[in-house]
Each structure stands twice: as structure tokens, then as C-alpha cells.
Structure 1
Amino acid sequence: METTEVTGWEYAVLEGGPADGLRMKVNARPRVIQVTYPCQVEATSPDGVRAEAVFLYRRDYSVTEEPLRYGFDIASP
């Protein structure tokens, strides 16, 4: 368990998966980052329906300085 309280924005990098190499700023060192990609729906779909692919990245707790690292969770839904 982490004992240091962190406030403010820090750089983070995603590793692996569809968003490999993506850099961003995070606040309060979240445990998980969710990345979504839009999916195409067929023209016969009801109006307003949309679909997105969801991918999860979990924080690497061994990295304590910027950039923080988040690794792709292959078992994510």
C-alpha cells in the first residue's frame, strides 16, 4: 500500500496494448486508466446507438517517479 500522498498532476505513459506509448497527465495516481475506442455500428442499428471497445491499463507500483507507468491488462473486459 502506498504511504506517500501525492497531489497535483504527473506525467504517465501507457505500455502495451492498443494505446502503447500514449503520454498523459494524471492526478492522484489512479490505479487504473480506461481507454476506449469507437466501434462502427451497422446502418440498421437503432438511432443513437454507439459501441466502444474498452481497454484497461493498471499502474506499475514499482515506478514512483515521473513518468508513471501503466501496463496493458490483457484480461480486461
Structure 2
Amino acid sequence: MGMDTDCTTPEEHAVLVGGPAHGLRLRVTDRPPVVQVTRPCEVEAAPGGVRAEALYVYRLGLPAGEGPLSYGYDAASP
């Protein structure tokens, strides 16, 4: 007789508020305090496959009760 050791955490729906990814909906696990969004940047003559990405940070807001989790854009980060 074995014990059920399935410790998976359910996913929750979240929405990003503000910034370049405003309105983007996603699913998160374990309510991470920060979500990082990147957007590729065009580079000229990049040596050895170097690439650049713009980085945007969204922070978990206060629980709103019903509905998806809300992550607000942090313009001061990184």
C-alpha cells in the first residue's frame, strides 16, 4: 500500500497590468512574486550569435478576491 506523493501545485490564471504586455493573460504556479517578460531586439552584425532582449518586470499585486491574479508593471526595474 503506497502513499499518494503527488505534490503538484495547481496553476492559477493571472493578468499583466500596465507596460508593454498590458492585458497579457497567463497561468502561474505557486504565485511567484515577480514575472519577467522579454521582447527580442534587432541587433546589427551580432558576433557569435549574440542576441539582445528588452526586459520588463511585473510584480504580484494584492489579492483581488475573485478573478485572476494581477501583476503590475514595475517601470523602475530592473
Task: Give the TM-score taking structure 1 as reference length.
Answer: 0.84
Once the two structures are superposed, the pairs formed by residues 1-77 of structure 1 within 5 Å of their partners are 7-43=9-45, 45-77=46-78
Highest Rg: 1 or 2?
2
Question: Deviations along 1:7-46, whole A, 9 cap, x unmatched?
Answer: 3101000000000000000001110000000011102x20
Partners of 1:66 and 1:51 in 2: how far apart? 35
Contact kept, 8 Å, 1:10 with 1:66, in 2: the verdict is no
Runs of 4+ in 1 over 3 A off after TM superposition: none
How far 1:73 moved relative to its partner?
0.2
RMSD of Structure 2 on Structure 1 (CA): 1.2
Q: 1:70 to 1:64 in 2, by over 3 A?
A: same
Which runs of 5 or more structure 1 residues have no equivalent in the other structure? Answer: 1-6
Identical pairs, percent: 60
Distance in 2 separating the partners of 1:40 and 1:64? 40
Count residues with an aligned counterpart: 70
